[in-house]
Amino acid sequence: MDTFEGKIAVITGGGTGMGRELAIQLSKEGCHIAMCDLSADNMQETQTLCKAVAPKDTRISTHICDVSNETQVLAFRDAMLEAHETNHINLLFNNAGIGGGGSFVRDEREDWERTFGVCWFGVYFCARAFVPLLVASEEGYIINTSSVNGFWAALGPKIAHTAYSAAKFAVKGFTEALITDLKTNAPHVRAAVVMPGHIGTSIVANSNIARGKNSGLDMTAEEVAETRAEMQRLGMPVSNISDDHIRQAAHKRAMDFKEKAPTTAAQAANIILTGVRENKWRLLIGKDAHRLDERVRSAPEDAYSDEFFASLTKQGVFTGINNQKANED
């Protein structure tokens, strides 16, 4: 796909982060955008940013949609077709995602399934709804966002990360399987899997919003208690600090995740779109992602050992806010 001008792109999670940056960069090139998100306000801001850089006749539509709900996904598809007066699309970015449901053993089933529902079924439902519209085009591309946690199911030695990792492994496997399927049955459509490392997005705060929970400074007393218990499980000495200090710590964590990331959402979007132009199917985003991929491939049996975690921390190759060193050279 040499040019995005005049193409039609569907982007899930377009209200913030990589989804927003994909929308801005594509619209600047004259690509028509249909985005969905849970937040109308966030999408309105994205739409305004897109219109500021897009050619005059570029269509940019916004749609409220919970991608884990197939009925809402189908309604999004139908509204998008009407808004853009089309019977096809050219690009599908399955980008929406949330975190949470870390422990299969300890966490509530509802919390676990909420994360898995957005991160996996959101991709599946949108693929079912929109892939026929890619096939109906002269050329199409489906770009599914997995993660480094799609090949390494961990965050650290004491942090359970099951729901998100299981979903991202599924996204990676599904996308790789689509390569042969599309080559055989729709050769004008391509597929790519995106595996970001630590990208500066609002996923920490957005994950709570998607669950109907408060985050950071707005946490209720019950939410503070849950956060305190999680910190204690990680060995943090927080039993004697105040609830307000817990709220401030949680808020700082969310801000640091976004603002101290070694790769910005804009940089990630640029790498993704460059990969699409170059017909690539495997897109690692960030030097931390490349280095972690190399480490896991070189010693898969050791990937979850204490020594492996310790070596990652020492080298700065880690999917957290302290991996700046991995991206300096």
- Residue 325 pLDDT > 50: no
- Please report whether residue 279 resides in a domain: yes
Higher pLDDT: 116 or 250? It is 116
Helix axes 306-315, 287-298, angle to 10 degrees: 150
Convert the pLDDT of each residue in 45-75 to its tens digit: 999 999 999 999 999 999 999 999 999 999 9
Residue 226: pLDDT band with limits 50, 70, 90: confident
Domain containing 145 — which CATH number?
3.40.50.720
State the amino acid at position 208 in one-letter form: N
Q: How far apart are CA 89 and CA 294, in angstroms?
A: 35
- For residue 34 the two structure tokens come to 């249909």
- Please report whether residue 289 resides in a domain: yes
Domain that holds residue 104: 8-201+264-300
The answer to whether 35 touches 23, Cβ cutoff 8 Å, is yes
- Please report whether residue 181 resides in a domain: yes
Residue 258: pLDDT band with limits 50, 70, 90: low
- For residue 317 the two structure tokens come to 């190759």
pLDDT at residue 318 in the model: 57
pLDDT at residue 251 in the model: 66
- Please report whether residue 326 resides in a domain: no
Segment 15-31 mean pLDDT: 97
- Please report whether residue 314 resides in a domain: no
pLDDT at residue 147 in the model: 96
pLDDT at residue 235 in the model: 67
Convert the pLDDT of each residue in 162-207 to its tens digit: 999 999 999 999 999 999 999 999 999 999 999 998 887 655 555 6
pLDDT at residue 243 in the model: 83
DSSP code for 240? T
Indicate the helix (H) or strand (E) that contains 199: strand 199-200
Q: How far apart are CA 154 and CA 145, in angstroms?
A: 17
- Please report whether residue 1 resides in a domain: no
- Please report whether residue 33 resides in a domain: yes
Q: What's the total number of domains in the chain?
A: 1
pLDDT at residue 206 in the model: 59
Segment 236-248 mean pLDDT: 79
- For residue 140 the two structure tokens come to 């199409």
- Residue 229 pLDDT > 90: no
Torsion of CA 246, 249, 250, 255, to 10 degrees: 160
- Residue 30 pLDDT > 50: yes
- Please report whether residue 73 resides in a domain: yes
SS3 content of the chain, % helix, strand, coil (to 5): 55, 15, 35
Residue 277: pLDDT band with limits 50, 70, 90: very high
Helix axes 243-259, 203-210, angle to 10 degrees: 120
- Residue 219 pLDDT > 60: yes
Residue 327: pLDDT band with limits 50, 70, 90: very low
Convert the pLDDT of each residue in 75-99 to its tens digit: 999 999 999 999 999 999 999 999 8
